[in-house]
Amino acid sequence: MTAAHCYAAYGLCIRSDLALPELAPADRTRAPDLSITLRPSGTVDPDTRPRMRFSSRESHFYWPEVGAFHVSADGRSVTISPAAGAAAELLAFPLLGPVLAEVLRRRGCFALHASAVLYRGHAIAFLADKGTGKSTTASALIARGARILADDIVAIDPAGRILPGFAQLKLSQAAAAFAPTGSMARGTVHHLIDKTRIRLPPATLAEQALPASRLYVLERLPLGRTSEVGGIAASAALQVTMRFSYAARFGNALLQGRAAAEHLRAAAHITRLCPPRHLRLSEGLEFADDIARAISADLRGAA
């Protein structure tokens, strides 16, 4: 491979013109599964509104302060046309978020907006609304011996396996103070981004894809209540899986016609393989041991 950078993430060998220090380095002799091409800054787009477009031929993302991203139909290439003055770190932020999620969708994976860890031999994911604590819960378990599978994008392949992504968490400033030993906080990339990027030691990343054992939907309990796990009615399970899918963030721009039907089938498949469950959390970071105990008790009953 002749490109300046070669990385591994989500089971892919990635050739990238853009430096992506979040990702693990990969063997340069391996043929790339995904190529990321960086074009020189060109004409300034007069449109000041973000936009997304999806078709059978490509996906297109645009943010005025960042630039444009094109994903090929087969999910094997991404082309970046940066906005004038956009720093590499700013380009990497959406590239390793919605753009990469779309790459994985086009390659046949079902992507959840979630965090996932390998804990006591089980691959488990945490699904939640913003601010509920999915990355914080993952961080608490990593500090107790778990290994990270992924944060923000949890990709599940058609066999039901969670693919290892890269060793980084996005945490609130309060939660960042409790990051696992050996972690490194990175600088902010934009004044509107309120999360701190925490780079974890490379050894904390799980080494291989593993069958999804639990999908936990997080809820906060009133102060003083003990963490607990409970089932979700079969009639509601599919709706929950679809709600926390990454594609749901794209809304009607993506989820219409054939794409919507394919998304529904993929969500139903994942729900059958690993029905979501409730994980009701004790309020406060000081209750991390209680949360770990509730998860451990539930995993003892996992098939």
Residue 171's pLDDT is 85
pLDDT higher than threshold 70 for residue 284: no
Determine the Cα–Cα distance for residues 81 and 42; give it in Å rounded to an integer: 7
Place of tokens 């016609």: 257
Cα distance between residue 20 and residue 248, in whole Å = 26
**How far apart are alpha carbons 101 and 123 in whole angstroms?**
19
Burial 92-112 (b: 16+ CB within 10 A, else e): bbbbbbbbbbbbbbbbebbbb
CA distance 297 to 289: 12
Choose one of 59, 83, 106: the last residue of a domain: 106
Give the burial class of 132: count Cβ atoms within 10 A of its Cβ; 0-12 exposed, 13-18 middle, 19 or more buried: middle
Residues pairing with 78 in the sheet:
36, 71
Choice between 162 and 227, residue whose per-residue pLDDT is larger: 162
Q: Could you report the per-residue pLDDT of 5-41, keeping only the tens digit for each?
A: 999 999 999 999 999 999 999 988 889 999 999 998 7
pTM of the model: 0.93
Is the model more confident about 187 or about 92?
Answer: 92
Please tell me whether residues 141 and 170 are part of one structural domain.
yes
DSSP 3-state of 139: helix
Mean predicted confidence (pLDDT) in 170-180 = 77
pLDDT computed for residue 215 by the predictor: 98
More confident residue, 173 or 299: 299
Choose between 242 and 3: higher pLDDT. Answer: 242
Same domain, residue pair 269 and 125: yes
Task: Give per-residue burial for 195-204: e unless 16+ CB within 10 Å, then b.
Answer: bbbbbbeeeb
125 lies in the same domain as 211:
yes
Q: Are residues 136 and 32 in the same domain?
A: no
Q: Which residue has the higher pLDDT, 244 or 84?
A: 244
3-class state of residue 190 by DSSP: coil
Per-residue pLDDT reduced to its tens digit, 117-151:
999 999 999 999 887 889 999 999 999 999 999 99
Domain count, the chain: 2
Q: Give pLDDT, residue 3.
A: 56
- Which residue range forms the structural domain that includes residue 37? 5-106
